[in-house]
Amino acid sequence: MSVSEKNQPEASEVRERILDAAEELFAEQGFDAVSLRQITTRAEVNLAAVNYYFGSKGGLVVEVLARVVGPINQRRLQMLDEAETQAAGQAVEVETILAAVFRPVIVSMNESEHSRQVVMKLAGRCMSEAGSEMPEAMRRLFREVADRFCASLSKALPRLSAAEVFWRMHFTIGSMLYALTQHETLVLLSDGKVLADDAEKALEELVAFTAGGLRAQNAKEGAGK
């Protein structure tokens, strides 16, 4: 057979190899802790290639984040679209909305052990470095999904004021991110009562908790400012 080097088209894509290696290393150690040398060594490309393709380390970080978060947010919007179409103008059930937020993350994490690590760690970074890293690119992506889910939740929970919907959506995201990033801590603290690697159980519990929180009695309103 005429097996030439051109037989591996994916391996020739230096850019992709850099993104793959960076994704892994960022997930393992965080953005700051990883050097371009580590990335290019693992990717088996030259050090200078990073600056050639991404301009700087910061540019690489943004592209890695976008590549992970983009598909998740797309799937979220898609699930919400389907739910709203099916509801035919009526409000979508709270649990269904929540599933559209959470499920795509679980799906991404279940693609591989590596994906699980990446999503977890990147979620953690997003929590603490929301302002500094990802200057705008990511902001807009999140803004779109936030607006859509906010509108859907407002319809499902007409008793809540607009401000309250914002607050509670915020708490919901917090619950999700903390569950994602600190799952190992939870397993550790619980002395075996909470099992690792049971994503479906985690999703169930998360939906139950956040649905309860979203539906909760309003905070006292009569109190004077």
143 binds, among a second copy, DNA, none (CB under 5 to 8 A by kind): a second copy
Contact yes or no for 149/74 (Cβ under 8 A): no
Smallest separation, CB 209 to a second copy (Å): 4
Binding footprint of DNA, residue count (CB under 7 A) = 18
* SS3 labels along 150-184: HHHHHHHCCCCCHHHHHHHHHHHHHHHHHHHHCHH
Contacting residue, 19, 21, 22, 34, with DNA by CB under 7 A = 34
Q: How far apart are CA 186 and CA 139, in angstroms?
A: 29
Instruction: State yes or no: residue 182 binds DNA (CB under 7 A).
Output: no
Q: Give the interface with a second copy as residue ranges (CB under 8 A).
A: 30, 32-33, 121, 124-125, 127-132, 143, 146, 161-164, 166-168, 170-179, 181-182, 184-186, 189-190, 193-194, 202, 204-220
112 binds, among DNA, a second copy, none (CB under 5 to 8 A by kind): none
Q: What is the separation of C-alpha 116 from the centre of its chain, rounded to a whole number of angstroms?
A: 11
28 binds, among DNA, a second copy, none (CB under 5 to 8 A by kind): none
Q: How far apart are CA 136 and CA 113, in angstroms?
A: 29
